Structure 1
Amino acid sequence: MGHSRDDDKGPTLLVLTCILTSLAVLTTSLRCWVRWGNRQLGLDDGAMAITTILAVARMSIQIVSVRYGNGKHREFVSDHDYKMINMFTWITQILLFPTICLMKVSICILILRIKDTRTLRYTLGFIITGLVLTNFECLLVLLAECSPLDAYWNGTSAGHCWPAKVRIYSIYLQASYGVATDVVCTFLPIYVVWNVKIPLSTKAAVCGLMSLGLVATLCSAIRAASLGTTTNDLSYAYCIAAIWANTELFLGIIAANLALARSMFKYFNERARTLTPYASGSRTTKLRNSLASPSRLGYVKSAEPCLALQTIGSARSQASGMPLRRYKDGATFTEMDEFEKATP
């Protein structure tokens, strides 16, 4: 049965992956920035940063593969380009499994940072061990499937490679365990957060963001289902699998980062409040100085309390001669009420 030349999944792969990559890089950068600013940078942040870097490297290889016709049916791709597509596909699969493993390990460590109990440590330790084993076995199969390695994409697989079913079934095993751990890693944070003493609205927001991981879980199941044991149209079939794999990977990264959205907002909100007085101070200096100039009645107008309190080395105010105490923080007014109460 012939295929249409217009049936090309390459553009879909590029557009979707570029959008998701941009969001993943942005959210990971904000996460690491805020954690570093709060001096809370941990192993989960480092693992997520490495995950994002590997995901971007994988996306770059996919962009190159689309130039060779990745996403088109076999009959519309030359023999040379078909070999290049298979080579790039093999490399992206090599990067996929450790990247997915690191992403989920990062989520597990994040859960432990929220609440660290003995039961939770054992549970997540079991999950992490399974993640490492199932992803590592896929990696080993890919590396040992063909001898030499280039037989995988040079068309000399007969007599040099294992049957394709070995690789496909190893991916089925990895995806099955991945779906199970995705469900656990999605609902476990919700359970942990729900038992933490924080406002109900905050709990609902965090749980809603963590539930985005269920979309990645669905994509993981579809990715496994899209793989077949036939190998006569890999330029098209593996492009579809790559679309679902990228959606699973990047949505997992974005969901894990957005779970910390509240701390990100709080950090930047506090920074904005801290910088606002200094940013506006230079524009109002002349106005404040004019308020301290002699009035038409010959009296000296009292300076603003904040200016008087920020005076260093002066024991008394210029207007009233009242002794001033050293102001603890010039950017806030927390001691203003006490100062006014001490004034007769």
Structure 2
Amino acid sequence: MVVYVDLATNPRGRTILAALWPMTTLAGVFLGLRLYSKLTRSRGLWWDDYFIIAAWITLLVSCTTSTANSRLGFGLYHSQLPLENLVTLGINSLISGTTSVIAVACSKTSFGVTLLRLTDGWMKRFVIALLVLLNITHYFSAVAFWVSCNPPAKTWNSLLPGECWPASVTVNSSLFVGACSAFCDFALALLPWRLLLRYDIYNREKIGVAIAMSMGVL
């Protein structure tokens, strides 16, 4: 049976929640405005909308499991954690990590799919290559959370006998996935600038649209 930890004794846990929930809520507000503007103009939803909805849902799951973990001691030193909570903490952490990675993949895929509707030729092929790279690396990372130990149960219960991947493998693979993610961010952020050059609109409108479409670089 798990032992709940008072957040008053877990300042790092409070900091985690103070960062996660406002950002998740803000993302939900922007998503709601996007869907509202499309549906009220009878434009309907397309694949990019479904991907961004999936991204927010998985982000919400990640935020929720991190919140549950904060009540179990997430944010405290390992020596301060109640032993009864370790298995539940481990499972929640794997769920949170998996869904956060999927959320990143879905959100970037959503924007990439949007660009596919606006591009042709080499730019379309480049966007497709980015989406393939992005999804292969991120879903590999999501699956790796659960299969990095033998037996797999050791991934969420470190007290079980067995073997896990060396720390260097985990660190290097994470760095590689992060590097691919950053590369895709910058590439997808810069493409709109090249794309908008072909449209005959005012320069200030081009710059405004390009900046809005490039916010992913942040």
Query: How would you bin the TM-score normalised by the shorter chain?
Result: 0.7 to 0.9
**Aligned position for 1:93:** 97
Structure 1 vs Structure 2: percent identity of aligned residues? 20
User: C-alpha separation between the residues in 1 aligned to 2:181 and 2:39?
Assistant: 30
Tell me if 1:72 matches 2:97. Answer: no
Deviates more, 1:197-206 or 1:63-72: 197-206
- State which structure, 1 or 2, has the greater radius of gyration over its C-alpha atoms: 1
CA shift, 1:171, in A, is 1.4
Match of residue 136, structure 2, among 133, 139, 143? 133
**Aligned position for 1:184:** 187
Q: Secondary structure at the match of 2:205?
A: helix
Q: Secondary structure at the match of 1:128?
A: helix
User: C-alpha separation between the residues in 2 aligned to 1:81 and 1:8?
Assistant: 18
**Aligned position for 1:204:** 207
User: C-alpha separation between the residues in 1 aligned to 2:36 and 2:132?
Assistant: 29
User: C-alpha separation between the residues in 2 aligned to 1:12 and 1:191?
Assistant: 40
Checking the alignment, whether the CA contact within 8 Å between 1:137 and 1:170 is kept in structure 2 is: no
**Aligned position for 2:65:** 61
**Aligned position for 1:213:** 216
User: C-alpha separation between the residues in 2 aligned to 1:6 and 1:66?
Assistant: 11
Q: Which amino acid aligns with 1:82?
A: L
Match of residue 19, structure 1, among 10, 19, 22? 22
Q: Sort the Cα spacing of 1:150 and 1:210 in 2 relative to 1 into closer, same or farther, 3 A.
A: same
Checking the alignment, whether the CA contact within 8 Å between 1:47 and 1:102 is kept in structure 2 is: yes
User: C-alpha separation between the residues in 1 aligned to 2:108 and 2:54?
Assistant: 12
Q: Which amino acid aligns with 2:15?
A: T
**Aligned position for 2:125:** 122
Checking the alignment, whether the CA contact within 8 Å between 2:149 and 2:162 is kept in structure 1 is: no
User: C-alpha separation between the residues in 2 aligned to 1:159 and 1:82?
Assistant: 17
Checking the alignment, whether the CA contact within 8 Å between 1:186 and 1:210 is kept in structure 2 is: yes
**Aligned position for 1:33:** 36
Q: Which amino acid aligns with 2:186?
A: V
Q: Sort the Cα spacing of 1:159 and 1:148 in 2 relative to 1 into closer, same or farther, 3 A.
A: closer
Equivalenced residue count is 210
Q: Which amino acid aligns with 1:61?
A: T
**Aligned position for 1:304:** none
Q: Structure 1, unaligned stretches of length 5 or more?
A: 216-344
Q: Secondary structure at the match of 1:155?
A: coil
Deviates more, 1:120-129 or 1:165-174: 165-174
Deviates more, 1:49-58 or 1:96-105: 96-105
CA shift, 1:24, in A, is 0.7
Q: Which amino acid aligns with 1:90?
A: L
**Aligned position for 1:308:** none
Higher helix share: 2
Runs of 4+ in structure 1 off by over 3 angstroms are 5-8
**Aligned position for 1:52:** 56
User: C-alpha separation between the residues in 2 aligned to 1:42 and 1:137?
Assistant: 26
Q: Sort the Cα spacing of 1:71 and 1:194 in 2 relative to 1 into closer, same or farther, 3 A.
A: farther
CA shift, 1:40, in A, is 4.4
Q: Secondary structure at the match of 2:149?
A: coil
CA shift, 1:15, in A, is 1.1
CA shift, 1:163, in A, is 2.4
User: C-alpha separation between the residues in 2 aligned to 1:43 and 1:190?
Assistant: 23
CA shift, 1:149, in A, is 2.8
Match of residue 161, structure 1, among 137, 161, 164? 164
TM-score normalised by length of structure 1: 0.57
CA shift, 1:107, in A, is 0.7
Q: Sort the Cα spacing of 1:87 and 1:199 in 2 relative to 1 into closer, same or farther, 3 A.
A: same
Q: Sort the Cα spacing of 1:18 and 1:134 in 2 relative to 1 into closer, same or farther, 3 A.
A: same
RMSD: 2.1
**Aligned position for 1:143:** 146
CA shift, 1:7, in A, is 7.7
